Structure 1
Amino acid sequence: MTDPAKPDPLSKRRLKSWIRLLGVTRAAENHLREFLRVNHDTTLPRFDVMAALWRRRDGVTMSELSRMLLVSNGNATAVVDRLEKDGLAKRTQSATDRRTVYVALTEEGLRQFEQLATDHEGEVNKLFASLTEDDLDALTEILKRAGQRGETA
Protein backbone atom coordinates (compact mmCIF):
# COMPACT_ATOMS: atom_id res chain seq x y z
CA MET A 1 0.00 0.00 0.00
CA THR A 2 1.33 3.46 -0.85
CA ASP A 3 1.82 6.14 1.79
CA PRO A 4 -0.53 9.04 0.90
CA ALA A 5 1.85 11.51 2.55
CA LYS A 6 4.72 10.47 0.28
CA PRO A 7 4.46 11.45 -3.41
CA ASP A 8 4.51 8.55 -5.87
CA PRO A 9 7.53 9.01 -8.19
CA LEU A 10 5.65 7.27 -11.04
CA SER A 11 2.51 9.40 -10.79
CA LYS A 12 3.44 11.88 -13.56
CA ARG A 13 4.63 9.09 -15.87
CA ARG A 14 1.38 7.19 -15.32
CA LEU A 15 -0.58 10.33 -16.14
CA LYS A 16 1.43 10.85 -19.33
CA SER A 17 0.88 7.20 -20.29
CA TRP A 18 -2.87 7.61 -19.73
CA ILE A 19 -2.93 10.71 -21.94
CA ARG A 20 -0.94 8.90 -24.65
CA LEU A 21 -3.27 5.85 -24.46
CA LEU A 22 -6.31 8.10 -24.67
CA GLY A 23 -4.81 9.93 -27.66
CA VAL A 24 -4.11 6.68 -29.53
CA THR A 25 -7.61 5.43 -28.75
CA ARG A 26 -9.30 8.64 -29.90
CA ALA A 27 -7.22 8.84 -33.08
CA ALA A 28 -7.99 5.21 -33.97
CA GLU A 29 -11.69 5.67 -33.21
CA ASN A 30 -11.86 8.85 -35.32
CA HIS A 31 -10.09 7.09 -38.18
CA LEU A 32 -12.50 4.15 -38.00
CA ARG A 33 -15.53 6.49 -37.88
CA GLU A 34 -14.31 8.16 -41.06
CA PHE A 35 -13.46 4.80 -42.67
CA LEU A 36 -16.97 3.46 -42.00
CA ARG A 37 -18.58 6.71 -43.20
CA VAL A 38 -16.58 6.99 -46.42
CA ASN A 39 -16.26 3.32 -47.39
CA HIS A 40 -19.55 1.92 -46.09
CA ASP A 41 -21.88 4.91 -45.66
CA THR A 42 -22.44 3.89 -42.04
CA THR A 43 -21.63 5.05 -38.53
CA LEU A 44 -19.64 3.60 -35.67
CA PRO A 45 -22.73 3.40 -33.40
CA ARG A 46 -24.56 1.46 -36.12
CA PHE A 47 -21.56 -0.87 -36.48
CA ASP A 48 -21.48 -1.37 -32.69
CA VAL A 49 -25.19 -2.25 -32.54
CA MET A 50 -24.84 -4.66 -35.44
CA ALA A 51 -21.80 -6.26 -33.76
CA ALA A 52 -23.75 -6.78 -30.53
CA LEU A 53 -26.69 -8.29 -32.44
CA TRP A 54 -24.33 -10.49 -34.49
CA ARG A 55 -22.88 -11.91 -31.26
CA ARG A 56 -26.38 -12.68 -29.94
CA ARG A 57 -28.05 -14.14 -33.03
CA ASP A 58 -31.07 -15.35 -31.08
CA GLY A 59 -31.91 -11.71 -30.31
CA VAL A 60 -31.74 -9.48 -27.27
CA THR A 61 -34.14 -7.17 -25.51
CA MET A 62 -33.65 -3.47 -26.05
CA SER A 63 -32.62 -3.15 -22.38
CA GLU A 64 -30.00 -5.88 -22.80
CA LEU A 65 -28.71 -4.19 -25.95
CA SER A 66 -28.39 -0.84 -24.14
CA ARG A 67 -26.48 -2.50 -21.29
CA MET A 68 -24.19 -4.36 -23.70
CA LEU A 69 -23.31 -1.10 -25.47
CA LEU A 70 -23.28 1.12 -22.37
CA VAL A 71 -25.72 3.56 -24.01
CA SER A 72 -29.18 4.82 -23.16
CA ASN A 73 -32.28 2.98 -24.34
CA GLY A 74 -33.05 6.04 -26.50
CA ASN A 75 -29.73 5.87 -28.31
CA ALA A 76 -30.07 2.14 -28.94
CA THR A 77 -33.67 2.57 -30.10
CA ALA A 78 -32.72 5.26 -32.62
CA VAL A 79 -30.07 3.02 -34.20
CA VAL A 80 -32.34 -0.05 -34.19
CA ASP A 81 -35.14 2.02 -35.78
CA ARG A 82 -32.84 2.86 -38.71
CA LEU A 83 -31.57 -0.72 -39.00
CA GLU A 84 -35.16 -2.00 -39.05
CA LYS A 85 -36.16 0.62 -41.65
CA ASP A 86 -33.26 -0.59 -43.83
CA GLY A 87 -34.30 -4.23 -43.45
CA LEU A 88 -31.20 -5.16 -41.44
CA ALA A 89 -32.85 -5.80 -38.08
CA LYS A 90 -36.21 -7.08 -36.94
CA ARG A 91 -38.11 -6.63 -33.69
CA THR A 92 -40.31 -9.42 -32.35
CA GLN A 93 -42.56 -9.39 -29.33
CA SER A 94 -41.95 -11.93 -26.58
CA ALA A 95 -44.44 -14.81 -26.58
CA THR A 96 -44.61 -14.72 -22.79
CA ASP A 97 -44.49 -10.97 -22.01
CA ARG A 98 -46.05 -8.46 -24.38
CA ARG A 99 -43.98 -5.65 -22.85
CA THR A 100 -40.73 -7.33 -23.91
CA VAL A 101 -39.46 -6.84 -27.44
CA TYR A 102 -36.49 -8.68 -28.90
CA VAL A 103 -34.30 -7.38 -31.70
CA ALA A 104 -32.08 -9.43 -34.00
CA LEU A 105 -30.32 -8.99 -37.32
CA THR A 106 -32.10 -10.19 -40.42
CA GLU A 107 -30.30 -12.48 -42.89
CA GLU A 108 -29.37 -9.37 -44.90
CA GLY A 109 -28.20 -7.68 -41.69
CA LEU A 110 -25.97 -10.66 -40.89
CA ARG A 111 -24.55 -10.64 -44.41
CA GLN A 112 -23.86 -6.89 -44.37
CA PHE A 113 -22.33 -6.98 -40.90
CA GLU A 114 -19.98 -9.82 -41.79
CA GLN A 115 -18.62 -7.74 -44.70
CA LEU A 116 -18.36 -4.66 -42.48
CA ALA A 117 -16.56 -6.65 -39.79
CA THR A 118 -14.06 -8.05 -42.29
CA ASP A 119 -13.29 -4.57 -43.63
CA HIS A 120 -13.16 -3.09 -40.09
CA GLU A 121 -10.68 -5.76 -39.01
CA GLY A 122 -8.54 -5.04 -42.06
CA GLU A 123 -8.51 -1.33 -41.27
CA VAL A 124 -7.58 -1.94 -37.62
CA ASN A 125 -4.81 -4.23 -38.85
CA LYS A 126 -3.48 -1.39 -41.04
CA LEU A 127 -3.71 1.10 -38.17
CA PHE A 128 -1.55 -1.06 -35.92
CA ALA A 129 0.65 -2.68 -38.58
CA SER A 130 3.78 -1.26 -36.97
CA LEU A 131 3.25 -3.45 -33.88
CA THR A 132 5.12 -6.75 -33.92
CA GLU A 133 3.89 -10.00 -32.40
CA ASP A 134 6.09 -9.33 -29.37
CA ASP A 135 4.68 -5.79 -29.11
CA LEU A 136 1.13 -7.15 -29.17
CA ASP A 137 1.93 -9.76 -26.51
CA ALA A 138 3.51 -7.10 -24.27
CA LEU A 139 0.66 -4.66 -24.84
CA THR A 140 -1.94 -7.32 -24.08
CA GLU A 141 -0.19 -8.20 -20.82
CA ILE A 142 0.14 -4.55 -19.82
CA LEU A 143 -3.53 -3.82 -20.54
CA LYS A 144 -4.63 -6.91 -18.61
CA ARG A 145 -2.64 -5.74 -15.59
CA ALA A 146 -3.95 -2.19 -15.93
CA GLY A 147 -7.52 -3.51 -16.09
CA GLN A 148 -7.04 -5.47 -12.87
CA ARG A 149 -5.95 -2.42 -10.90
CA GLY A 150 -9.43 -1.76 -9.52
CA GLU A 151 -9.81 -5.39 -8.44
CA THR A 152 -6.63 -5.42 -6.34
CA ALA A 153 -6.86 -1.96 -4.78
Structure 2
Amino acid sequence: MFGVEDAATEAAIRAYVKLMRASHAVSARTAPRLIAAGLTHTQLGVLEALLHRGPLTQRDLSRKILTSPGNLTDVIDKLAKRDLVARVACKEDRRSVRVVLTEAGRAFIESLFPGHAADIGAAMSGVTGEDLATLDRLLRRLGIAAGDD
Protein backbone atom coordinates (compact mmCIF):
# COMPACT_ATOMS: atom_id res chain seq x y z
CA MET A 1 0.00 0.00 0.00
CA PHE A 2 2.76 2.47 0.90
CA GLY A 3 5.25 1.04 -1.57
CA VAL A 4 6.95 -0.88 1.23
CA GLU A 5 7.52 -4.60 0.92
CA ASP A 6 8.10 -5.22 4.64
CA ALA A 7 4.77 -5.94 6.41
CA ALA A 8 6.12 -4.71 9.77
CA THR A 9 7.17 -1.38 8.24
CA GLU A 10 3.80 -1.01 6.54
CA ALA A 11 2.00 -1.69 9.84
CA ALA A 12 4.26 0.86 11.54
CA ILE A 13 3.41 3.47 8.90
CA ARG A 14 -0.32 2.84 9.33
CA ALA A 15 -0.03 3.20 13.11
CA TYR A 16 2.13 6.32 12.75
CA VAL A 17 -0.41 8.01 10.47
CA LYS A 18 -3.19 7.22 12.95
CA LEU A 19 -1.06 8.48 15.84
CA MET A 20 -0.38 11.77 14.04
CA ARG A 21 -4.03 12.23 13.08
CA ALA A 22 -5.15 11.56 16.64
CA SER A 23 -2.52 13.94 18.00
CA HIS A 24 -3.65 16.68 15.63
CA ALA A 25 -7.30 16.08 16.54
CA VAL A 26 -6.60 16.38 20.28
CA SER A 27 -4.44 19.48 19.69
CA ALA A 28 -7.21 21.06 17.62
CA ARG A 29 -9.68 20.41 20.44
CA THR A 30 -7.43 22.14 22.99
CA ALA A 31 -6.34 25.02 20.74
CA PRO A 32 -9.28 27.45 21.20
CA ARG A 33 -8.65 27.91 24.93
CA LEU A 34 -4.92 28.42 24.32
CA ILE A 35 -5.53 30.88 21.50
CA ALA A 36 -7.90 32.85 23.74
CA ALA A 37 -5.14 32.93 26.39
CA GLY A 38 -2.56 34.03 23.82
CA LEU A 39 -0.49 30.86 24.17
CA THR A 40 0.99 28.27 21.88
CA HIS A 41 1.07 24.61 22.90
CA THR A 42 4.82 24.97 23.52
CA GLN A 43 4.33 28.00 25.77
CA LEU A 44 1.68 26.10 27.70
CA GLY A 45 4.12 23.19 28.01
CA VAL A 46 6.71 25.46 29.61
CA LEU A 47 4.20 26.93 32.07
CA GLU A 48 2.78 23.50 32.92
CA ALA A 49 6.25 22.00 33.45
CA LEU A 50 7.24 24.85 35.76
CA LEU A 51 3.95 24.57 37.67
CA HIS A 52 4.28 20.84 38.26
CA ARG A 53 8.09 20.45 38.41
CA GLY A 54 9.22 23.77 39.85
CA PRO A 55 12.13 25.85 38.52
CA LEU A 56 14.05 24.16 35.68
CA THR A 57 17.07 24.96 33.56
CA GLN A 58 16.42 25.69 29.91
CA ARG A 59 18.17 22.42 29.06
CA ASP A 60 15.84 20.45 31.34
CA LEU A 61 12.83 22.31 29.95
CA SER A 62 13.79 21.57 26.34
CA ARG A 63 14.02 17.86 27.18
CA LYS A 64 10.76 17.93 29.12
CA ILE A 65 8.67 19.62 26.45
CA LEU A 66 10.52 18.15 23.45
CA THR A 67 11.59 21.34 21.71
CA SER A 68 14.94 22.58 20.50
CA PRO A 69 17.05 24.83 22.75
CA GLY A 70 16.84 27.60 20.14
CA ASN A 71 13.05 27.47 19.99
CA LEU A 72 12.84 27.29 23.76
CA THR A 73 14.89 30.49 24.12
CA ASP A 74 12.33 32.29 21.94
CA VAL A 75 9.40 30.77 23.86
CA ILE A 76 10.88 31.82 27.21
CA ASP A 77 11.64 35.32 25.90
CA LYS A 78 7.98 35.72 24.91
CA LEU A 79 6.71 34.40 28.25
CA ALA A 80 9.16 36.66 30.12
CA LYS A 81 7.96 39.67 28.12
CA ARG A 82 4.46 38.89 29.45
CA ASP A 83 5.90 38.59 33.00
CA LEU A 84 4.82 34.94 33.24
CA VAL A 85 8.34 33.55 33.75
CA ALA A 86 11.73 34.88 34.78
CA ARG A 87 15.30 33.69 34.42
CA VAL A 88 17.11 33.41 37.75
CA ALA A 89 20.80 32.69 38.25
CA CYS A 90 21.40 29.46 40.14
CA LYS A 91 23.12 30.17 43.47
CA GLU A 92 25.00 26.85 43.45
CA ASP A 93 26.37 27.30 39.91
CA ARG A 94 26.54 30.82 38.52
CA ARG A 95 26.85 29.43 34.99
CA SER A 96 23.41 27.89 35.30
CA VAL A 97 20.15 29.78 34.91
CA ARG A 98 16.78 28.46 36.01
CA VAL A 99 13.44 29.44 34.58
CA VAL A 100 10.81 30.14 37.23
CA LEU A 101 7.16 31.10 37.25
CA THR A 102 6.48 34.65 38.37
CA GLU A 103 3.55 35.27 40.70
CA ALA A 104 1.54 36.40 37.68
CA GLY A 105 2.64 33.30 35.76
CA ARG A 106 1.62 30.98 38.58
CA ALA A 107 -1.81 32.63 38.88
CA PHE A 108 -2.22 32.50 35.09
CA ILE A 109 -1.37 28.81 34.64
CA GLU A 110 -3.27 27.75 37.78
CA SER A 111 -6.41 29.38 36.40
CA LEU A 112 -5.89 28.07 32.84
CA PHE A 113 -4.75 24.51 33.45
CA PRO A 114 -7.98 23.00 34.87
CA GLY A 115 -9.90 24.03 31.74
CA HIS A 116 -7.11 22.78 29.51
CA ALA A 117 -7.12 19.45 31.34
CA ALA A 118 -10.90 19.25 30.87
CA ASP A 119 -10.45 19.92 27.14
CA ILE A 120 -7.96 17.04 26.94
CA GLY A 121 -10.35 14.79 28.85
CA ALA A 122 -13.18 15.68 26.47
CA ALA A 123 -11.00 15.17 23.40
CA MET A 124 -9.93 11.74 24.63
CA SER A 125 -13.31 10.66 25.99
CA GLY A 126 -13.71 8.13 23.20
CA VAL A 127 -11.01 6.04 24.89
CA THR A 128 -11.73 5.20 28.52
CA GLY A 129 -10.83 2.87 31.34
CA GLU A 130 -8.66 -0.09 30.52
CA ASP A 131 -8.14 1.08 26.91
CA LEU A 132 -6.75 4.40 28.14
CA ALA A 133 -4.38 2.58 30.49
CA THR A 134 -3.30 0.33 27.61
CA LEU A 135 -2.77 3.36 25.37
CA ASP A 136 -0.67 4.98 28.09
CA ARG A 137 1.55 1.88 28.38
CA LEU A 138 1.91 1.50 24.61
CA LEU A 139 2.80 5.15 24.07
CA ARG A 140 5.39 5.00 26.84
CA ARG A 141 6.90 1.88 25.28
CA LEU A 142 6.89 3.58 21.86
CA GLY A 143 8.60 6.67 23.27
CA ILE A 144 11.31 4.58 24.91
CA ALA A 145 11.85 2.45 21.79
CA ALA A 146 12.05 5.56 19.60
CA GLY A 147 14.76 7.02 21.83
CA ASP A 148 12.75 9.31 24.07
CA ASP A 149 12.96 8.82 27.81
Q: Is 1:41 the equivalent of 2:43?
A: no
Report how many residues are paired.
143
Q: Is 1:70 the equivalent of 2:69?
A: no
Separation in 1 of the partners of 2:13 and 2:124? Answer: 23
Is the 2:47–2:109 contact (alpha carbons within 8 Å) kept by the matching residues of 1?
yes
- Percent identical pairs in the alignment equals 30
Query: Judging changes above 3 Å, is the alpha-carbon distance between structure 1 residues 62 and 12 closer, same or farther for their aligned structure 2 residues?
Result: closer
Farther-moved stretch of structure 1 (92-101 vs 118-127)? 92-101
Q: What SS does the aligned partner of 2:125 have? A: coil
**1 or 2 for the larger relative contact order (CA 8 Å, sep ≥6)?**
2
Query: Judging changes above 3 Å, is the alpha-carbon distance between structure 1 residues 139 and 86 closer, same or farther for their aligned structure 2 residues?
Result: same
Under a length normalisation based on structure 1, what TM-score does the superposition of the two structures give? Answer: 0.75
Farther-moved stretch of structure 1 (15-24 vs 60-69)? 60-69
Partner of 1:31: 29
Under a length normalisation based on structure 2, what TM-score does the superposition of the two structures give? Answer: 0.77
Query: Judging changes above 3 Å, is the alpha-carbon distance between structure 1 residues 124 and 103 closer, same or farther for their aligned structure 2 residues?
Result: same
Query: Judging changes above 3 Å, is the alpha-carbon distance between structure 1 residues 127 and 9 closer, same or farther for their aligned structure 2 residues?
Result: same
Separation in 1 of the partners of 2:112 and 2:132? Answer: 24
Task: Tell which structure's C-alpha radius of gyration is larger.
Answer: 1
Query: What runs of 5+ residues in structure 1 fail to find an aligned partner?
Result: 1-6
Separation in 1 of the partners of 2:103 and 2:29? Answer: 29
Query: Judging changes above 3 Å, is the alpha-carbon distance between structure 1 residues 85 and 27 closer, same or farther for their aligned structure 2 residues?
Result: same
Q: What SS does the aligned partner of 2:94 have? A: coil
Q: Alpha-carbon deviation of 1:73?
A: 2.5
